[in-house]
Amino acid sequence: MAGIKAASEDTGVIGRNIDRFIDRLNTTKHEALQRTPHQARIEILDPTYRLTVDTTTGFLFGREYGALDEKSPLSTASTNTGTMSALPLIFAIVKAGCFSLLPNWFFNVITSILHWLCPDHAFEASLACVRDFASSITADANPGKDSTYQARLLAAGISTSETIIQCMAVMFAGTDSTAVKLVTLIFHLVQNPQVHDRLKQEVKLLDANPALDISTLPFLRAVVKEGLRLGIANPARFSRIVPSGEGLEIGGYHIPPGTDVGLSPYVLHHNPDVFPEPWAFRPERWLPDDEQLVVSQLQRMNRDLIPFNIGSRACIARNLATHELLIATKRIVESGVLEGAKTCEERIKVKEYFNLDIEGHKMEIEWVN
């Protein structure tokens, strides 16, 4: 955690990139207002991915991918969308998740056939960009002397080719889920200005007492927790196999050894018995006034909140992701960049693969005068 907190300082990789992300939102907002003063609309999903890509790579690899610096799309006709170069690869991996629960051999066959029938030039160009970056940081690594992720893999005896693949995998794993969670938080802060304003008042406490730990702000933590509950990056079930032995007894049912079982965060996070009004963004649910609720209801909510999975397969970067969300939410609210904005949709429309896919790969907010 010490490394994460240091990275969150103004000059650290997290703090620096969050400030650049907010600057990008402000610039895009002002450009939109100049073009159409009466109704300015901006897209926020792409810049959110840019933030999480640069934060993940900078923190783990010691070098940022440079997504926040990219000013033009990939140099292919099919990618003339203004999105960052790594996004077509990220979205392709997300889409492949619809086959993730199939047997591995079948998954490989299906994806190979689809790739042959429907070649995707944007994906190919994106894959080349990400592979070149991973190859470059691996070539520059100094095993045994620097503490970067790629250097530690090489020092442990992992081959160069496998290290490149692992770096590419980490770029996706550390980017997609955090981006989905952060854009969900932004969406609900725009839809709920009273939450935004209350949070802005609370974070002012840090100005009066800079030594105060950001994680001690109760309403900020409640807002991020509610964002983690609703911003489910992995809505599908997490598969497990019942171990050998006597099997399991759950809810009066016997499940024999070898059975494929799973637990879905989407189902748990929207259980009305645990989370009343489960579709509503209500950060105050995490701050109950009744002492008995603190012991019972809050305990049940914390038990069923599994945004990063649980157990031995839980996300190893959950502390990094949570702290990034806390810092980003605080600074976004402080900046005032969202004030006066409205969402362009009533709700976030998604496709539920293993990884959540936001429909249209975009999310827009607007200012109407």
Find all residues with CB under 8 Å of 208, minimum gap 6, and list them. Answer: none
Give the count of beta carbons closer than 10 Å to the beta carbon of residue 201.
10
Model pTM above 0.75: yes
For the record, the structure tokens of 168 come out as 């590419």
> How far apart (Å, rounded) are the C-alpha atoms in residues 96 and 266?
19
Torsion angle of the four alpha carbons 74, 233, 25, 134, in this order, in degrees rounded to the nearest 10: -40
Q: How far apart are the first and last CA of the chain?
A: 44
DSSP per position, 263-291? E-HHHHHT-TTTSSSTTS--GGGGS-SSH
Task: Specify whether the CB–CB gap between 185 and 227 falls below 8 A.
Answer: yes
Token readout for 67 is 């997504």
Q: Which two tokens stand for residue 269?
A: 């996070």
Q: By three-state DSSP, how is residue 366 classified?
A: strand
Amino acid at 226: E
50 touches 171 (CB < 8 A): no
Residues 91-137 pLDDT 10s: 777 776 666 666 677 666 766 766 666 667 788 888 899 999 999 99
Q: Which helix (H) or strand (E) holds 190?
A: helix 176-191
Name residues whose C-beta falls within 8 Å of residue 264's C-beta, 6 or more positions apart in sequence.
235, 236, 237, 238
The pLDDT of residue 239 is: 79
Tell me the residue type at 103. P
> Mind listing the pLDDT tens digit of every residue in the chain (369 residues)?
556 766 667 668 999 999 999 999 999 999 998 888 888 899 999 999 999 999 999 999 999 999 999 874 333 333 334 678 888 888 777 776 666 666 677 666 766 766 666 667 788 888 899 999 999 999 999 998 899 999 999 999 999 999 999 999 988 887 888 998 999 999 999 999 999 999 999 998 887 887 778 888 999 999 999 999 998 777 777 778 898 888 888 888 999 999 988 888 888 999 999 999 999 999 999 987 756 566 788 889 999 998 888 877 777 788 888 999 999 999 999 999 999 999 999 998 877 666 677 878 889 999 987
